[in-house]
């Protein structure tokens, strides 16, 4: 499946309503308009109404407010985030999308004890990549949320990513905890955590997937590299999910795939009560569209 096919799949579901915090941004509006044209859902846009309306009108007079699109004026980014999260909490919207505001501002509203969207799980960033020349989707987690996750957090990060993969029909995804080497080295904490996560999976403490590590990146994604090093594993060369040890590793891998490999990407924040579209402000409208499609598919699990 390609990300374009994911967009096609998403529009087959009943339409969801997406609340966008701070929508006064050209790339955000481009993604919203394209999503509406693809029939992905309805939108509530929170932010400066004058600026949002001007951006919409630049796309064409047909993109004024209608039954597919509502603009709600707010006076600050903080208020926009608050109202967008509240709309999801109250059931007026089904999916939350980050617009042109800092992630920390949105998360403050998401984590609010009164109206937030916490589920009790660790929140983690899950990116879905379509890499040119590669034969399947590849997930990378966590490239944008947890700085240096503990062993317990890594187990939850895996579970979050597995739930996203399952929602796309990928059953029993193969998970590779990534390290610099494929052997256990007491001086390299990532290898120790990977070994424990593997054992936790074998003992049923991490379910609905197959975990094996530590694996270096080449061994995780290339059968040839794994064979050359004599690695015998159901995950080696066949990984669906790459679990990175720190945010620096994830961020570097994420951007390398985009800028060096020309990969396409969609990403969501998993672990909350609903999928959250959490793209970088520098991401293209295309990436934001793919992220919306991913979020819509995740909100219709196992269909």
At residue 185, the 3 state secondary structure works out as: coil
How far is it, in rounded angstroms, from Cα 175 to Cα 297? Answer: 21
Burial bucket for residue 268 (CB in 10 Å: 0-12, 13-18, 19+): buried
Give the Å distances, CA to CA, from 195 to 25, 214, 230.
44, 6, 18
Name the token pair of 11: 């529009």
Q: Which residue has the tokens 């997406």?
A: 18
Give the pLDDT band (50/70/90) at residue 176. Answer: very high
pLDDT of residue 210: 98
Comparison of pLDDT for 244 and 12, the residue scoring more: 244
> Which residue reads 């672990």 in tokens?
271
HSE of 92 in the Cβ direction (CA atoms, 13 Å)?
Answer: 12
Q: Which residues pair with 41 in a beta bridge?
A: 16
Q: Which residues contact 139 (CB under 8 A, 6 or more apart)?
A: 126, 127, 128, 129, 161, 164, 165, 173, 240, 241, 242
Give yes or no for a contact between 125 and 142, defined as CB atoms under 8 angstroms apart.
yes
Bridge-based pairing of strands 138-141 and 241-243 is parallel
Which string of DSSP letters, residue by residue, matches 134-184? -SS-EEEE-SSS-SS--HHHHHHHHHHHHHHHHHTT--S-EEEEB-SSSS-
pLDDT tens for each residue of 203-239: 999 999 999 999 999 999 999 999 999 998 999 999 9
pLDDT mean across residues, the chain: 93
Q: What is the pLDDT of residue 115?
A: 95
Q: Are 295 and 275 in contact (CB under 8 A)?
A: yes
Convert the pLDDT of each residue in 108-132 to its tens digit.
Answer: 999 999 999 988 889 999 999 999 9
């Amino acid at each position: 499946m390609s990300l374009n096919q994911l967009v096609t799949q998403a529009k087959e579901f009943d339409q969801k309503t997406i609340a966008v915090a701070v929508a006064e941004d050209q790339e955000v509006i481009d993604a919203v308009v394209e999503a509406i044209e693809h029939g992905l859902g309805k939108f509530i846009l929170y932010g400066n109404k004058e600026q949002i309306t001007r951006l919409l009108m630049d796309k064409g007079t047909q993109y004024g407010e209608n039954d597919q699109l509502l603009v709600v004026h707010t006076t600050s980014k903080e208020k926009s985030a608050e109202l967008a999260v509240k709309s999801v909490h109250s059931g007026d919207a089904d999916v939350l999308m980050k617009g042109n505001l800092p992630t920390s501002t949105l998360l403050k509203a998401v984590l609010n004890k009164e109206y937030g969207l916490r589920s009790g799980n660790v929140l983690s960033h899950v990116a879905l990549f379509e890499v040119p020349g590669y034969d399947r989707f590849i997930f990378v987690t966590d490239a944008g949320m947890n700085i240096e996750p503990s062993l317990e957090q890594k187990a939850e990060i895996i579970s979050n990513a597995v739930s996203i993969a399952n929602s796309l029909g990928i059953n029993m995804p193969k998970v590779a905890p990534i390290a610099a080497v494929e052997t256990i080295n007491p001086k390299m904490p990532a290898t120790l955590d990977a070994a424990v996560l593997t054992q936790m999976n074998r003992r049923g403490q991490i379910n609905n997937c197959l975990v094996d590590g530590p694996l270096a990146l080449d061994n995780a994604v290339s059968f040839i590299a794994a064979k050359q090093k004599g690695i015998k594993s159901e995950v080696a060369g066949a990984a669906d999910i790459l679990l990175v040890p720190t945010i620096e590793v994830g961020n570097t891998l994420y951007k390398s795939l985009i800028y060096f490999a020309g990969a396409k990407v969609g990403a969501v924040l998993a672990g909350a009560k609903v999928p959250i579209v959490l793209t970088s402000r520098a991401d293209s409208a295309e990436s934001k569209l793919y992220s919306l499609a991913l979020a819509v598919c995740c909100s219709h699990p196992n269909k």
